[in-house]
Amino acid sequence: MSPTRLTPQLRWWILGLLAAMALPLLNPNPYHLDVLTTALLYAILALGLNLIVGLTGLLHLGYAAFFAIGAYTYGLLSLYAGWPFWLGVIPAAAVAALFGAALGAPALRVRGDYLAIITLGFGEIVRIVFTNLDRWTGGPNGLLGIAHPQLWMPGRGVLDFGVSSTPYYYLVLITMAVIAGVCMRLSRSRVGRAWVAIRDDELAAACTGIPVLQLKLLAQGCGGAIAGIAGAIFAAKQGTITPDSFDFILSVMILAMVVLGGLGSIRGAIIGALFLGVLPEVLRGFDQYRMLIFGLCMVIIIRLRPQGLFGTTHGKQSPAPSHAKSAA
């Protein structure tokens, strides 16, 4: 087996990760770290939605529902069963993945606008259910007192993350890097190429023997699991969650991040999430015109790069290879 070679792209990924790891040492400002942590959390969500929308071509307008399911799963396990974060994040991802597959089973038999309407309705149903289950979810007041992560460190004993910004920054950064690596390998695998084939021409993909419905369900499940992980981290960081944190606007924002970065692009999803996550805070000094400037920036970027910052035009997308049939 030949040794793994560092490609130029991989070198840039490593340099970017090292620079991000060193950032708290250069700028320990808690507010700045908290803003970046939130932006990186958006990047995790964008990576998950990119599998569904970018690679498989399924328009999803209720992605915040999986985020909420992961957050409430960990919150309930923490409050009622005393589960620690490192153990609770596993069922949070699993439950969100199951709901993703459960939604996909009936919904993926429709396409286009009808699929978008169904996913939009699913997102609102989940939020309303969490709002009305007062006995378990606390209703509109949400869940309070969710346990923060704890980590044992040699020579320092147990480190409670508490409300400190730096531990959460590193937690979200490492999680994002791992998920990005998994998504990259997955997109280059036979399953990923089959997803692209479904996105480009679903009928042609089905005629070549690709199990379209099963792979759509897999995309929904993988995307839901990633959102569930992000939800568990969000609940652990905040210590309290309410249904209002998972509204339709959040789903649209995550979709905008994916579209802005370029559909199907891993680095595009990350850059788009960082850009839209940080830009409102950069413009905070322009209180009256912040959202106007934010909207103008979005319009200009989409006008100049309709395929996204790192996306390719439809004509330049590589078609599914001939061996995509082996994904069956």
Q: What sign has the CA pseudo-torsion 195, 196, 202, 207?
A: negative
Alpha-carbon distances of 5 from 2, 8, 10, 12, 177, rounded to whole Å: 9, 10, 9, 13, 19
Q: How far apart are CA 315 and CA 171, in angstroms?
A: 39
Look at residues 251, 257, 252, 255 and name the one whose alpha carbon lies nearest to residue 269. Answer: 257
Look at residues 164, 177, 171, 159 and name the one whose alpha carbon lies nearest to residue 31. Answer: 164
Single-letter amino acid code for the residue at 257: M
Q: Which residues pair with 144 in a beta bridge?
A: 240
Single-letter amino acid code for the residue at 316: K
Q: Going residue by residue through the chain (328 aa), what tens digit of pLDDT does each one get?
A: 445 567 777 788 888 888 999 998 888 899 999 999 999 999 999 999 999 999 998 889 999 999 999 999 999 999 999 999 999 999 999 999 999 988 877 767 777 778 888 899 999 999 999 999 888 999 999 999 999 998 887 777 778 888 889 999 999 999 999 999 999 999 899 999 999 999 998 889 999 889 988 999 999 999 999 999 999 999 999 999 999 999 999 999 999 999 888 888 999 999 999 998 988 887 777 767 777 877 787 788 778 887 888 876 544 444 434 333 333 3
Topology of the domain covering 30-327: ABC transporter involved in vitamin B12 uptake, BtuC (1.10.3470)
Q: How far apart are CA 170 and CA 180, in angstroms?
A: 15
Q: How far apart are CA 72 and CA 242, in angstroms?
A: 9
Q: How far apart are CA 291 and CA 97, in angstroms?
A: 34
Write down the pLDDT at residue 324.
Answer: 37
Q: How far apart are CA 70 and CA 178, in angstroms?
A: 18
- Two tokens, residue 231: 């939800």
- Two tokens, residue 154: 């040699």
Residue tagged 């099963």 (tokens): 214
Phi-psi region for residue 57, left (φ > 0), alpha (ψ -120 to 50) or beta?
left
Q: Where are the domains of the chain?
A: 30-327
Single-letter amino acid code for the residue at 255: L
